[in-house]
Structures are given as C-alpha cells and as structure tokens.
Amino acid sequence: MKTITCSVSMSSSDVQASSKIKRGVDVNFTTRILIIAAMLLVLAGCGNGEAEPSDAPFDAFSKTIEAYDVSELAVPTWRDVDGVTYINDILIVNEEYGLPADYNPGVEPEVIEAYTELIDDAAAEGFDLVIVSGFRSYQDQVEVYDHFVETLGQEAADLRTLQAGHSEHQSGLAVDIGSVESASTAAIPFGETPDYEWMKDVAHEYGFIIRYQEGKEDITGLGYEPWHIRYVGEKAATEIYAQDLVLEEYLGID
C-alpha cells in the first residue's frame, strides 16, 4: 500500500476566484472550468509519485507463516487389517466402514476390565448399572436387523440399528447398558435416569464414550442412544468428551 502525500499550490488569483465560489459570488464560467481543471491535474500527478510501497503487511504475514509449526497438524493414519479399518489406531465401524463376516473377537479384555471398574464405582455412588447387550456376531446382527425391519419397517429400522457387518457390537468394543429399572421395563428410558446422569459425565474416565449422541444423528447415521457406550481408551474418550464430539468428528471422517 502506498502512502501518498501531495500539496496543491494555487496562485493568488486562483485563490481569490475559489473564495468567490465559496461565498456564492458569481464568477466567469470559463474561470471556474480552468480552476477545476488545474486542481485535477495536480491531484492526478500525486498518483505518480515515487513513494516506496510499505513492506509492513508482508513482513507481518511472513512472521505469521514462520511462527506456524506444520508439524502440529494432525494427519490421520489409516490401517486396514484383514478388512478391519483403523484410523489413528482406533477401530471404526459404522454405515460406511464395515467388519468381515468372520470377525468374531468376543468382548475385548480391556473393555471387560474398564466396564467392571465403571459399574463398581457406580455402585459405590449408589447407582446400579447392568449390561443389556454385549458382543454380537455377524449372524446375531442379521437376526436383530431383520427383526427391526419386520417390526418397524425398513426406514425406521435403519434409524434404530445397523446392518450386519456394520454394528459396533460385532467389534467387541461396545456394550448397551442400563439401570436396573430401565433394563426391566421400556417405560423407564435410561437417558432419563439418575444413573445415566452420573454415567455420562464420568464414562470418559474409564475410556468410554456415548457413541450415538443427541443432535449428531446426521453424522453417526443412528438415532440418539444414551445406553450405547463404546470403548476407545481414556485419552481419546477424554478428548471426545471435552470437545463434545462423536467418533466420526474426532477421526475427521464426519
């Protein structure tokens, strides 16, 4: 950007003529034109000055670029292990990423350990958490999905569960939980119990996330499921909880 300073010099007669214009005194039309033309020529000449452009904006931009450490950018790492997709070493299974039909790990040991600690601490606080559904094989999910389709219809079923090969239950990393009361009757939604209110704010401390959050249905592909928790490890779970994310957002695939 150029900083331009210019001055306009006028003869005494020009000043007198100009002052007459300002006072509203009638002057010769030709004189007016000459004064205006002279002023325009002087101003036009200001645009051709030799003032050096300032480098300040470019210096500031350069310093900003130098201060930015590109090594801090998180670049997701993808791995495919026998048809199972891992992003940043976290297994991902959803509508898009599936599991092979023969993937049959059962409930992973670290999930059992973390869940046992969770329900023990819940009991110490006066809450009774129970497992409603744990590991499901590929064939188990075929039966669950078909049941929902027969009961609710295709469209409604797709909001409630996923087709075989795309359910987190087959990963061995997810469980459906409830309180003793909500597990015994559908009339008491788990998401409206004191047990859930306690659990939702501490689950990340045990490595679990609420996998299908309210308001994130367009991202996860499933409706709100406060009972479905997924093990991702304490570090990832804490970051997901603190930023109010779902797993797809955290992994950058939303």
Question: Annotated catalytic residue: which of 66, 108, 113, 225?
Answer: 225
Whole-number Å distance between alpha carbons of 138 and 163: 9
Query: What is the spatial distance between Cα 113 and Cα 150, in angstroms, rounded to a whole number?
Result: 36
CB 8 within 8 A of CB 42: yes
Q: Is 248 a catalytic residue?
A: no
To the nearest 10 degrees (0 to 180), the angle between helices 29-46 and 12-22 is: 110
Query: How many residues does this entry show for the chain?
Result: 254
Secondary structure letter of residue 48 according to DSSP: T
Q: Mapped to the 3 state alphabet, what secondary structure does 178-219 carry?
A: EEHHHHHCCCCCHHHCHHHHHHHCCHHHHCEEEEECCCCHHH
Give yes or no for a contact between 142 and 77, defined as CB atoms under 8 angstroms apart: no
Classify residue 93 as exposed, middle or buried by CB count within 10 Å of its CB (0-12, 13-18, 19+). buried
Which residue, 127, 106, 94, 132, is CA-closest to 203?
127
Catalytic amino acids? 225
